[in-house]
């Protein structure tokens, strides 16, 4: 196997899906606290008891035990997000909440105790609710200043602790999930394309300003963008399908094209013209966008297809969805499994940008059964997860052989947590089983799954065990 010596093996979580403690130590509400059913349904007025994220997996109080388990697996890195509303409870204050800052000091120190580098996402679907309700999220230009202030605050505070940063998680998902991704309170069907793309523009400027601030405050750090990665194949070789696939792919590359190259891509002009979009873009915005990212990170769960035949029903999937591929099988949630798509996508990013890439999410959401072995140990025999991850990692190795500079791999939900799209607990991704169920029952105890030992060996052998029998 050809994984570089310093390959960053690890796992990933997001604050809103694991921390719980939604109103402790001065934390303000975030958009997640009023979204008990995931991204497709309208938010509630106040947090409701059926919202599993309010307790999450109680990482807020159990982070020491969890990080110790990650260290036991040999993680070199641990990707997590800072909950913006722990630092600025409303989002528009000038002074940060010290208790929130102190919590992440403790978490980062705990990682360093085991030689694990945290990889920190500034905003992972966790906009402070006040910003959504008062400013309509990224529709307001004022959000740029609020976010820049937040980013500068955490860069300054953690400058000696964090080397790797990401700005917005899956920034391209805002086109489908404007509330949870962009804090936009206006219902999706009332949001014009003009307003959506103006909001996107504000978010992209804010991302670039954070990149600039990171480079100034922590010159040794690296900061990346993060996109929802999903290769789009033409359903047939018909040229019209090929062009349709290109158009859909550009809707996603639009974001990273700006974050990596520092300016709007040429194809945006026609897209804006045909959709009646006229952006308000100041000379200061144009200058700010020139601060470009050091690397490209992305999530990868599935690929999809595109067709001009609009009678074909879209399949299930990671927010963006798409037309199902007749050659692929799907997970229990209908997400089509395509390990070779990961190699293909890694190559696409490398060819397009000539920058290092980082897979910061990948994994299988499945229903797990906790069983008791003869010696009394409880575990999950999750061979299906091992197969999924092995197949994907073998393709990562192929991409490295193709010449792609891959910085690392952090599997999604390295410990079971509340799912994003459907806000459930029975959809599990972890190497560690958490005893908590959709009805809120469970002791929150942690159990190592079979995949725990498997991943431990993968890391210990730097990937060699992937091809050993
Ligand atoms: C990505 C998100 O969309 O996919 C994560 O960045 C999310 O937050 C992950 O959890 C998997 O989606 P789900 O719905 O299965 O949790």
Does the beta carbon of 412 sit less than 6 angstroms from any atom of ligand 1?
yes
Overall pTM surpassing 0.95 (yes/no): yes
CA R_g for the chain: 21
Residues forming beta bridges with residue 33, ordered by sequence position: none
User: Distance from the CA of 211 to the center of ligand 1, in angstroms?
Assistant: 24
* Residue 362 CB less than 6 A away from ligand 1: no
Q: Is the CB of 365 under 6 A from ligand 1?
A: yes
* Structural contact between residues 142 and 198, judged by C-beta atoms closer than 8 angstroms: no
Helix H or strand E segment including 221: none
Q: How many Å lie between the centroid of ligand 1 and the Cα of residue 380?
A: 21
Helix residue ranges per DSSP H, 262-382: 267-274, 283-288, 339-353
Do the domain assignments include residue 3?
no
* Mean pLDDT (10-residue bins), the chain, 469 residues: 95 98 98 96 95 98 98 98 98 98 98 98 98 98 98 98 98 97 97 98 98 98 98 98 97 97 98 98 98 98 95 86 93 96 98 98 98 97 98 98 98 98 97 98 98 98 90
Spatial distance between the Cα atoms of 392 and 410, rounded to a whole number of angstroms: 12
Instruction: Answer yes or no: is 157 within a domain.
Output: yes
- C-beta separation of 185 from 133 below 8 A: yes
Query: Is residue 2 in some structural domain?
Result: no
Q: Tell me whether residue 259 is exposed, middle or buried, using C-beta atoms within 10 angstroms of its C-beta: 0 to 12, 13 to 18, 19 or more.
A: buried
Quote the pLDDT of residue 319: 85
pLDDT at 283: 98
For position 36, what pLDDT does the model report?
Answer: 97
Number of domains making up the chain = 1
Active-site residue, 284 included: no
| Distance of CA 144 from the midpoint of ligand 1 (Å) | 25
Tokens 């260290």 sit at which residue? 71
Domain contains 1: no
171 found inside a domain = yes
Neighbouring CB atoms inside 10 A of 21's CB total: 18
List the domain range (segments joined by +) for residue 72: 8-467
The residue assigned the tokens 């190592």 is 448
Task: Please provide residue 59's backbone torsions phi and psi, each rounded to the nearest 5 degrees.
Answer: -60, -30
Classify residue 113: in a domain, yes or no: yes
Spatial contact of 286 and 349, defined as CB atoms under 8 Å apart: no
- Kindly name the residue from 19, 170, 203, 398 that is annotated as catalytic: 170
Q: Ramachandran region of residue 226, left (φ > 0), alpha (ψ -120 to 50) or beta?
A: beta
Quick one: three-class SS letters along 234-293? ECCCCHHHHHHHHHHHHHHHHHHHHHHHCCCCCHHHHHHHHCCCCCCCCHHHHHHCCCCC
Structure token digits, residue 403: 């010449």
Active site residue 361: yes
CA of 280 to the centre of ligand 1 (A): 32
Mutate to test the pocket of ligand 1, among 336, 421, 424, 429 (most ligand atoms within 8 A of CB): 421
For atom 15 of ligand 1, which residue has the closest CA? 419
Coil, helix or strand at residue 71:
helix
Q: Which CATH number is 421's domain given? A: 3.20.20.80
Q: What's the pLDDT score for residue 469?
A: 58
Q: Check residue 334 and give its pLDDT.
A: 93
φ, ψ at 446 (rounded to 5°): -105, 140
The number of angstroms, rounded, from the C-alpha of 15 to the middle of its chain's C-alpha atoms is 11
Predicted local distance difference test score (pLDDT) of residue 245: 97
Residue with tokens 């069907």: 189
């Amino acid at each position: 196997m050809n994984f570089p010596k310093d390959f960053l093996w690890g796992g990933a979580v997001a604050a809103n899906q694991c921390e719980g403690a939604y109103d402790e130590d001065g934390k303000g509400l975030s958009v997640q606290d009023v979204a008990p059913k995931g991204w497709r349904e309208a938010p509630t007025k106040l947090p409701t008891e059926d919202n599993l994220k309010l307790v999450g997996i109680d990482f807020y109080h159990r982070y020491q035990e969890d990080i110790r388990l990650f260290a036991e697996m040999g993680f070199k890195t641990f990707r997590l997000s800072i909950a913006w509303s722990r630092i600025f409870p409303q989002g528009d204050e000038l002074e940060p909440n010290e208790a929130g800052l102190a919590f992440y000091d403790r978490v980062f120190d705990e990682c360093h105790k085991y030689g694990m580098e945290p990889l920190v996402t500034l905003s992972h679907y966790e906009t402070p609710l006040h910003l959504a309700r008062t400013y309509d999220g990224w529709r307001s230009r004022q959000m740029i200043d609020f976010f820049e202030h937040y980013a500068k605050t955490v860069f300054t505070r953690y400058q000696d602790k964090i080397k790797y940063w990401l700005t917005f998680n899956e920034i391209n998902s805002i086109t489908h999930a404007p509330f949870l991704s962009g804090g936009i309170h206006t219902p999706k069907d009332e949001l014009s394309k003009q307003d959506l793309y103006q909001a996107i523009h504000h978010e992209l400027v804010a991302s670039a300003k954070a990149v600039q601030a990171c480079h100034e405050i922590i010159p040794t750090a690296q900061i990346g963008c993060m996109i929802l990665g999903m290769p789009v194949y033409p359903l047939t070789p018909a040229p019209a399908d090929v062009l349709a696939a290109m158009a859909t792919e550009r809707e996603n590359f639009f974001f990273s094209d700006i974050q990596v190259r520092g300016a709007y891509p040429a194809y945006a002009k026609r897209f804006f013209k045909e959709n009646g979009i006229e952006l308000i873009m100041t000379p200061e915005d144009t200058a700010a966008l020139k601060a470009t990212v050091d690397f490209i990170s992305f999530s990868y769960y599935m690929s999809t297809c595109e067709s001009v035949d609009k009678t074909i029903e879209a399949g299930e999937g990671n927010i963006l969805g798409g037309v199902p591929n007749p050659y692929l099988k799907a997970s229990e949630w209908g997400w089509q499994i395509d390990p070779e798509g990961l190699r293909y996508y890694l190559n696409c990013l490398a060819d397009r940008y000539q920058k290092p890439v980082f897979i910061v999410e990948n994994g299988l959401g499945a229903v797990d059964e906790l069983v008791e072995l003869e010696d009394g140990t409880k575990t999950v025999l999750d061979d299906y997860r091992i197969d999924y991850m092995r197949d994907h990692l073998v393709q990562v190795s192929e991409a490295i052989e193709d010449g792609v500079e891959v910085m690392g791999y952090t599997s999604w939900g390295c410990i079971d947590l509340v799912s994003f799209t459907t806000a459930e607990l029975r959809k599990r991704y972890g190497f560690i089983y958490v005893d908590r169920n959709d009805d809120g029952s469970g002791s929150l105890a942690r159990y190592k799954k079979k995949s725990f030992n498997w991943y431990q060996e993968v890391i210990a052998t730097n990937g060699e065990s992937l091809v050993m029998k």
